[in-house]
Chain A
Amino acid sequence: MLTILFDGVAYGMLLFVLACGLSVTLGLMNFINLAHGAFAMTGGYCTVILVNRLGVPFVLGLPIAFLATALIGGLFERTLYVHVYARSHLDQVLFTIGLVFMSVAAIDYTMGSSQQFVQIPDALQGQFRVLGIGMGKYRLLIIAVCGLLTIALQLMLTKTRFGSRLRAAVDDQRVARGLGINVGAVFALTFAFGSGLAGLGGALGAEILGLDPTFPLKYMIYFLIVVTVGGTSSITGPFVASILLGISDVAGKYYVPKLGAFVIYAIMIVVLIWRPQGLFARTTAR
C-alpha cells in the first residue's frame, strides 16, 4: 500500500517535471503546444546516446540532456513557434501535431522503433527498506531531483526579477511591454527552459515510462491532463494535479489493471465538467 503511494509520488513528480513547461506555455501565451512530449523524447534519446553509446556517466548525462533540449526548444521557438503564437487554436493544434508526427517518424528513422533503455549506474539500482516499505533507489533519486526542482522553480517565479517579469507578461502582455519588459525574450527563455525541463524529465523517466518513438503521442494526454486539471496560473496547481495523477494511475493499474487508463480519463472529464478552468485556477483573474 505504502509502496504504491511511494511509486505514485515518484511517478507524479516525474510527470510534473515533464509537464510544467507545458503549463507555462499554455498559461503564459495561451498556446496549445501538443508537441511538448517531443521535447521530452529528445531529452530521453540524448541520454540514451550519451550514456549508452558514448559512455558518459549517467549523472553528467542528465544536465547535458537538459541543456541540449533547452537549446533545441529555444531554436524552435525563435524560428517556428513565434509565427504561430497569434494564430487561432486550431492552427496551433495542427502545427504542433504536425511537429509530433515529424518527430515520431524522424526518431523512428534514426534510432529504430524498438524500446530504448538507459544504463543506470549500479549504485542507483536496488531498494532501501525503511519501516517495511520497499523504496527503489532510482525512484528516491527522482523524488529528490524533482522535489528540488519544484522548490527552485517556485522560488524563481516568486522571488527573482525574471520571475516577476514573467508573471507580469502573463498577466498583461501589453502593459508589460509598455513597462520596457522584452516580452519576446522572456517568452523565448521560458520556452527554452520549459523544453529543457521536459528533456530532463524524459531522461529521468526513460526507465519508468519507457522510451520509444511513440512517446510524444502516448504521454501527450497525460501532460495535457496535468495542465488542464491543475490550471495554468501557478506552479502549485499542476504540481498537486500531477501527484494526484501519478498516485491514481499507479493505484488504478495495481488494483484494477483491466480498466487501464480508463480511471484517469474519467477523472479528468469529471474535473473538467465540474471546473472547466482547472482545479486550482484563480477565478478572479482578469
Chain B
Amino acid sequence: MVAPAVSTYLKSRARWSPFEIAFWVFAFATIWLFPGKYLILKDTAILALFALSLDLILGYAGIISLGHAAFFGLAGYVAGLLAKYGIINEPVIALVVAGAAAAALGFVTSFLVLRGSDLTRLMVTLGVSLMLGEVANRYSNITGGADGLQGVDIAPVLGMFRFDLYGHNGYVYCLIVLFLCFLLARRIVYSPFGLSLRAVKGNPLRASAIGIPVKWRLVAIYTVSAGIAGIAGGLLTQTTAFCSLDVFSLERSADLLLVLIIGGTGYLYGGLIGAVIYKFLQDWIANLTPQYWQFWIGLVLVAIVLVGRDRMQASVDAARGYATRLGARALTFSTTFGGTAPDRH
C-alpha cells in the first residue's frame, strides 16, 4: 500500500510545474526579446550552468567547495587546445571531450575531497585548483601562460552555425547546452539516486545504515558535477575563443558560491536565478563604480549571511509556492473553460 503512495508522490513532485515551463519559455524567448544583449546573456547562461554544477554537490550532497574553478578551467583549456591544434574541430564533440576530461579529474579528486572535515575539503578543493593554475602557468609554451591561450579558432557548430561577432549563435548554443545539462541534472535529482543523495546530506550515518553506499554516491555526484562545470568552462573558451589563467582563480570559485547563495541551494533553479541576478548586479554596479564593484559584492555576501540564508530561503519558498498556486489556478481555469467547451454542442 505504501510503495504506490510514495511513488505517486514522487512522480507528482518530479512533474514539470507551470513555473518551470514558464521559466524556460521565457529563457528561450530572450533570444528574440533582447537582441542587443547577447554578450551578457551568454555570460549569464555560462555562469548559470557553472552554478548548476555546484548546486548538485552543495545543495544535494552538502559538499563545500572553494575550488570548483579547477574543473571549469581544465575543460576551458582542453577545449581551447583541442581547437587551437585542430585535434577536434567540431565544437560539440570538443565540448563533450572537455566535459569528460573535467569529469575524470573530478572522479580522481573526489577521493581526496571525501576525506576529512569541511575545512579539509575547502583546503583540498582550493589546493587542486591553485595547483592546476600553477601547472598552466608553468607550461606556458603550451598554454600561453599569463598571456592566455591565444589564436583559438573555433569551427562552426555542427558545421553550419559560425560564432558571429554579435554573439547570437554563441548565445543560442550556450542556452541549448544549458537546457540539456539542466534536463540531465533534473533527471538525476528526481531519480532514486537523487533521493539517496538527500538522505546522505541529511545524515550520512543513518543513510549508510539503511544500505546506501555513501562514499560511492558522493563520488558519482562529484564526478557528474565536475563534468557539468567542465562543460561550462568549455563553453566559455569556445564562445570567446580565448582562455586565460584566471579561469582557475579563487575569485571565480568565490563568486560562484555567491551566485548560488543568492539564488538559493537545493532546488536546481537557484543557480540559474542567482546567475541572472548576479550578472545584472555586476553590470549595474560596474557601471556606477567600475573599479570597486568587489566591495559591493562583498557587502552583499556579508549581508546575506547576517540576515540568514534560511530566512531568505523561507521567503523564496513562500514566493515560489505562491507562484505555483497562481500557475495551477490559471491552469485549472483554462482547462475548465478550454476543456469543457467542445462538449457543449
Contact = CB atoms under 8 A, between A and B. Distances in A.
Contacts of A56: none
Given A101-B294, A261-B130, A268-B123, A89 B299 contact: no
A107 to B, nearest CB: 10
A101 B137 contact: no
Contact of B58 (A90, A91, A102, A105): A90
A269 B295 contact: no
B214 interface: no
A32 B127 contact: no
A260 B127 CA distance: 14
B302 A95 contact: yes
B130 A265 contact: yes
Interface string A250-286: 0000000011111001101100110011000000000
A63 B293 CA distance: 34
B116 A276 contact: yes
B297 interface: yes
B306 A80 contact: yes
A94 B126 contact: no
Interface residues of B, number: 43
B301 A260 contact: no
Contact of B305 (A91, A109, A272): A91
Contacts of A273: 112, 115
Nearest to A103: B298
Contact of B134 (A99, A224, A260): A260
Interface bin, chain A: 35 or more
A98 B130 contact: no
B34 interface: no
B66 A105 contact: no
Nearest to B131: A265
B138 interface: yes
B64 interface: yes
B258 interface: yes
B132 to A, nearest CB: 10
A149 interface: no
Contact of B137 (A89, A217, A225, A260): A260
A221 B126 contact: yes
A106 interface: yes
B277 to A, nearest CB: 16
B155 interface: no
A91 B298 CA distance: 13
B246 interface: no
Contacts of B301: 94-95, 97-98, 101
Interface of B: 58, 64, 66, 112, 115-120, 122-124, 126-128, 130-131, 134-135, 137-138, 250-251, 254, 257-258, 261, 291-295, 297-302, 304-306, 309
Q: Which 9 A-B pairs have the closest CB atoms?
A: A98-B301, A101-B298, A105-B295, A276-B116, A102-B298, A98-B302, A95-B305, A89-B118, A262-B134
26 contacts: A32-B118, A32-B119, A84-B305, A89-B64, A90-B64, A93-B66, A93-B257, A94-B301, A95-B306, A98-B297, A100-B298, A101-B297, A102-B294, A102-B298, A102-B299, A103-B298, A104-B294, A104-B298, A221-B130, A228-B119, A262-B131, A269-B128, A272-B120, A276-B116, A276-B117, A277-B116
